Chain A
Amino acid sequence: MSVRYGMAIDTKSCVGCAACVIACKKENNVPNGHSRDWIFTSTIGSYPELSMTIESRRCNHCENAPCVTVCPTGASYVGPGGTILVNPDKCTGCKACIAACPYGARFVDPRTGSIDKCTFCLHRIEDGLSTTACQEICPTSSIFFGDLSDPESEIAQVLAERDNYTLLPEAGTEPRHYFLK
């Protein structure tokens, strides 16, 4: 089967430090005041019976990506390994894709007017590095990235071994970004 890149966050060990956010900003030259990934925490219960989930979130690289469907110019496209990418040279900044993404993963790069979002650091992967920048920096090693369709890959194994979930599965977008419970 063809390569299908995916990511998984270990919510058990992620401490929400946001090193992944800062590292991504620098690696990908993300404009000031914007970010491709972010930390979401949710605490439920009442004192002192509490539980908290911490998630490092980003574009889900949806298998059924509405952002690609709505894009009138083909600027949003399905790239290698099923990654969802944006070609800034084609993007008109019409923002239909932002409106179409249920996850709020996209934003306008104010420097170019084109859309920016997580690329799964494909430039690194194409360069032969095996990690994304957020994964590489993560002090708790909570980020897994790799080929979902290769059963030998670390990510495929960890997903097979551990309970996991995706965000808003009801939206039918089939995210390839998982969270390990």
Chain B
Amino acid sequence: MQELTSTRLNPLVDPHLHVWHGEVALYLFLGGIVAGMMVVTGLLTLRKKHEEPSRAMAMLPLAAPILLSLGMFFLFLDLEHKLNALRFYLVFKPLSPMSWGSWILLVVYPVVILQAWTTVPGDVRDAVLRRLGRFAFLAKGSDWALANTRRVALVSMIAGASLGIYTGLLLGTMGARPMWNSAILGPLFLTSGLSTAAAFMLLYRLSDRERSLLGKLDMGLISVELILVSLWMIGLSTGSQISQDGLASIIGGPYTTAFWVLVVALGLITPLFAEWLEIKHGTVPGRSAALMVLAGGLALRWILVYGGQYTGWIESIALR
């Protein structure tokens, strides 16, 4: 028997670290959707040959800056010392994912706006320009962007992918948190971002063609995501004792049910099956599957954020 006592009394640190809460999960979730939308929209722009997008599809990229702002708002909410928020931009720390993240967000912002500008229907653009006509540079910029639509799309795909991967790396590089400490988290969060983005877009009144296209894309993404989740778990469970303990919170630990029900069953397998059924029967994907994917994506972040803080080296070694 081993008896342990500690007088440590830092409430956010003990008995289990809980320094990051729902705000961070929401930020990661929204950031993921934005990242995914940037990539998906970029893809659609690049492959667009003959067919005009539906109006909803054309308008959708406008949601990206809004979602991004919302995400950053949540991130800001999480900051304990908000007055110092500008400090993120007084330095670049090449080894800090969080530093990369803050700068990526800074780059992403104008890019999503440009991208939206190039995709929205012409009448919307004209209406905006008319109201802001006195700013001549806007018209100039607009002309430039429209002339470079494909370049903008490419750039936003790259920026989006960086954003998506970063949301995973932020956690994945935390050596101190065995559950997070996996290189797979980057691709996993990117894939999940893409998939939730597709699902988010599916909530709108798109054309049937667009719907089935996104539906197929989403199916593919969910399949990849399932593989990545498995790889992540296999990686941890075949690693050192500490890595194995890292999985404890979702295998037997307090987040077990939530993880397997919300993330795996509801968020991945069920929608995959539903979309497969729909496509097999030739109907276009409905909204319920999309909602499940979104819920699952949020749950993934939520559970990872909390579950990862539940395990740590102190708990897994010193307390064993």
Contacts and interface: CB of A to CB of B under 8 A. Distances in A.
Judge: A and B partners, yes or no. Answer: yes
Interface of A: 18, 21, 33-35, 38-46, 57, 66, 69-75, 88-96, 98-104, 106-108, 112-114, 167-168, 170-172
Contacts of A41: 3-6
Nearest to B242: A170
B81 A66 contact: no
Contacts of B7: 18, 21, 35, 38-40
Contacts, number: 167
A57 B85 CA distance: 31
A104 to B, nearest CB: 5
Interface stretch (B11-19, B43-51, B205-213): B11-19
A66 B309 CA distance: 16
Given A93-B82, A102-B312, A104-B10, 8 more contacts: A38-B9, A43-B2, A66-B176, A69-B93, A74-B87, A98-B19, A99-B19, A113-B80
A40 B5 contact: yes
B12 to A, nearest CB: 6
Contacts of B5: 39-41
B2 A114 contact: no
9 contacts: A38-B9, A42-B4, A66-B175, A69-B96, A72-B96, A72-B102, A99-B20, A102-B314, A114-B80
B134 interface: no
A93 B81 contact: yes
Contacts of A34: 9-11
Nearest to B101: A72
B95 A69 contact: yes
Contacts of A57: 8
B313 A102 contact: yes
A102 B180 CA distance: 13
Nearest to B173: A70
Contact of B80 (A35, A74, A103, A108): A108
Contacts of B309: 99
Interface string B252-268: 00000000000000000
Nearest to B93: A72
Contacts of A42: 2-4, 318
A100 B175 contact: yes
A93 B318 contact: no
B97 interface: yes
A92 B85 contact: yes
Contacts of A170: 240, 242, 317
Contact of B318 (A43, A45, A72, A167): A167
A37 to B, nearest CB: 9
Nearest to B76: A92
Contacts of A167: 318
A81 to B, nearest CB: 22
Given A71-B96, A73-B90, A99 B4 contact: no
Contacts of A89: 84
A73 B87 contact: yes
Q: Across the A-B interface, give the 3 residue pairs with the lowest CB-CB distance, nearest first.
A: A93-B80, A113-B81, A38-B8
B78 interface: yes
Contacts of A102: 175-176, 312-314
B85 A168 contact: no
B136 interface: no
B229 interface: no
Given A42-B4, A104-B10, A113 B82 contact: yes
Contacts of B2: 42-44
Given A94-B78, A100-B176, A104-B8, A40 B90 contact: no
A167 B9 CA distance: 19
Nearest to B317: A168
A69 to B, nearest CB: 5
Contacts of A72: 88, 91, 93, 96, 98-99, 101-102
Contacts of B90: 73, 90
Contact of A104 (B3, B95, B174, B314): B314
Given A35-B7, A39-B7, A92-B88, A74 B93 contact: yes
